[in-house]
Amino acid sequence: MEKIRIIGAGLAGSEAAIYLAKKGYEIDLIEMRPKYQTGAHKTALPAEFVCSNSLGSIDILSASGLLKKEAELLGSTLFKLAHKCAVPSGNSLSIDRFGFSKEVQNIIESYKNINLIKEKYEKIDTTIPTIIATGPLTSNELCKEIKEKFAEEDFHFFDAVAPIVEKNSINFEKAFFASRWDKGEADFINCPMSKEEYENFYDILINSKRAPLKNFEANYFEGCMPIEVMASRGKDTLRFGPMKPVGIFDKRIKTDFKKHQFYAVVQLRQDDKMANLYNLVGFQTNLVWGEQKKLIHSIPGLENANIVRYGVMHANTFINSPKILNKRLQTKKYKNIFFAGQLTGVEGYSESISTGLFAAINMDKYLKKENMINLSNNTMLGALVDYITYENHKKFQPINSNWGIIGELDDDPKKLKDKIYKNTKRSNRAIEEIKKYIEE
Ligand SMILES: Cc1cc2nc3c(=O)[nH]c(=O)nc-3n(C[C@H](O)[C@H](O)[C@H](O)COP(=O)(O)OP(=O)(O)OC[C@H]3O[C@@H](n4cnc5c(N)ncnc54)[C@H](O)[C@@H]3O)c2cc1C
């Protein structure tokens, strides 16, 4: 059988290695720890959970639960092990992280055809089938190599991301679509504020608790400054920055268009091709999640906004997947090279495991010259892959599983107002598609 290289024995890499070992391939699994550490990992074990020990909900009526269910149906080993190592946590799947990594290690060691090599991988050999799954803390040397191999200037390093909300949870009695000075299409959703509303927002912001920063996270770019840092420079800094009100008018209000209507405006930009998700422009933040919620809900129009991604700040690396990858997670330039895990721009443990599995399935199919797996965006895994490889993002940013990226249902709009009805339908449709794929 052919030899396959898998780089990084993290969540995605371990899942991929086990899947392909089961198929009989010779696997070189290359991991740099413990010789070189990432700054976040603490052990020498594979599939280490670096922060929380939760894989999120197991309810298949939740986006994260559906993703896990799909991956389990497709043959995931790591989710199976997670259930085995589960600790009580209500409706979510949380694990004993040390026990879990030990289990993964035992399985890897039990396969004679997995050769675990403890070294830092620096040069990509495009003649060998390879899955690169080195995660958000990929070593600098490999980052440089990826950048050179793919001639990709947009190989991102980012420090902070802004929250994303669901459009259908925005109150359009207050919010409205417009572009600044009416230029081009009215692409932005605008949430206007009076002086009193801005002062209330500012007070909440300035008194909010920030998440602690580790050493490796401490530097951020000026152009990507967290909103709380900007606010600490002066009460009006935001009104001259991301919240500037000039040129934004609500046409429902009769006014002299030369005058400003509002004291400050929060703008939201479309984030997905189906226009279900909108990110808060310039609102990258490192506030703890509870405080972010309070802050966002203090914005007129976002009182009940459903936040599908909170702002986070940590050292993170992700490739420009829309340019580099096709919808099989294979690079467009070198057919032998696939990427998986957080490095592709998915975010989260479950997402990393699932894309590790997806890349492994496709590597197997590719080497056997069979049709590669092609899931539609009616499935959560298909929607994630579709999102990260969609070529027309204005600015590609990482994404986790959420309902906003999944295909619309063709059903009675009145019935779809019922969330349980809607999610049951979406979930059943996704599981049916996966089962059909497996049967075929
Ligand atoms: C600080 C931090 C906290 C996070 N907290 C959470 C959280 O609470 N919940 C959540 O869902 N997600 C969280 N994430 C995001 C993400 O889910 C995890 O990072 C997840 O582990 C990603 O899985 P992965 O397989 O892509 O990468 P990893 O699990 O990081 O695996 C990558 C592996 O590649 C190795 N490696 C790197 N470079 C090389 C090289 N050149 N040669 C050989 N090996 C190499 C690394 O040592 C590592 O073992 C967090 C991320 C970070 C950075």
Arithmetic mean of pLDDT over the chain:
91
Please state the domain extents for the chain: 3-155+319-439, 165-314
**pLDDT tens string 151-172:** 876 566 555 678 989 999 999 9
CA of 342 from ligand 1 middle (Å) equals 7
CA of 290 from ligand 1 middle (Å) equals 24
Low-confidence winner among 132-141, 204-213, 327-336, 357-366 (lowest mean pLDDT): 204-213
The atom number, within ligand 1, closest to the CA of 341 reads 26
* Residue 281 vs residue 301, higher pLDDT: 301
CATH number for the segment(s) 3-155+319-439: 3.50.50.60
CB of 43 sitting under 6 A from ligand 1:
no
Q: Average pLDDT of 165-182?
A: 94
The atom number, within ligand 1, closest to the CA of 134 reads 34
Does the pLDDT of residue 8 top 60, yes or no? yes
The atom number, within ligand 1, closest to the CA of 55 reads 11
Name the residue at shortest CA distance from atom 15 of ligand 1. Answer: 348
CA of 225 from ligand 1 middle (Å) equals 23
Does the pLDDT of residue 181 top 80, yes or no? yes
Name the residue at shortest CA distance from atom 29 of ligand 1. Answer: 10
**Distance from the Cα of residue 176 to its chain's centroid:** 27
Does the pLDDT of residue 336 top 50, yes or no? yes
CB of 352 sitting under 6 A from ligand 1:
yes
Predicted pLDDT at 277: 87
Name the residue at shortest CA distance from atom 31 of ligand 1. Answer: 10
CA of 181 from ligand 1 middle (Å) equals 43
Predicted pLDDT at 221: 47
**Highest-scoring range by mean pLDDT, 169-183, 191-205, 213-227:** 191-205
**pLDDT tens string 357-416:** 999 999 999 999 999 998 999 999 999 999 999 998 877 888 899 999 999 899 898 998
Do residues 276 and 167 make contact, with C-beta atoms less than 8 angstroms apart? yes
Do residues 400 and 347 make contact, with C-beta atoms less than 8 angstroms apart? yes
Give the 3-state secondary structure of residue 181: helix
> 374 is written with which tokens?
């092609």
CATH number for the segment(s) 165-314: 2.40.30
Contacts 24+ apart (CB under 8 A), 104-108: 104/14, 104/18, 104/45, 104/46, 104/47, 104/78, 105/45, 105/46, 107/18, 107/77, 107/81, 108/9, 108/14, 108/17, 108/18, 108/29, 108/46
What predicted TM-score, i.e. pTM, was given to this entire model?
0.78
**pLDDT tens string 253-291:** 877 666 778 999 999 988 776 788 898 988 988 899 899
Predicted pLDDT at 241: 93
Predicted pLDDT at 269: 87
CB of 136 sitting under 6 A from ligand 1:
yes
Predicted pLDDT at 54: 86
Of 14, 125, 137, best ligand 1 pocket probe by most atoms within 8 Å of the beta carbon: 137
Q: Average pLDDT of 203-228?
A: 72
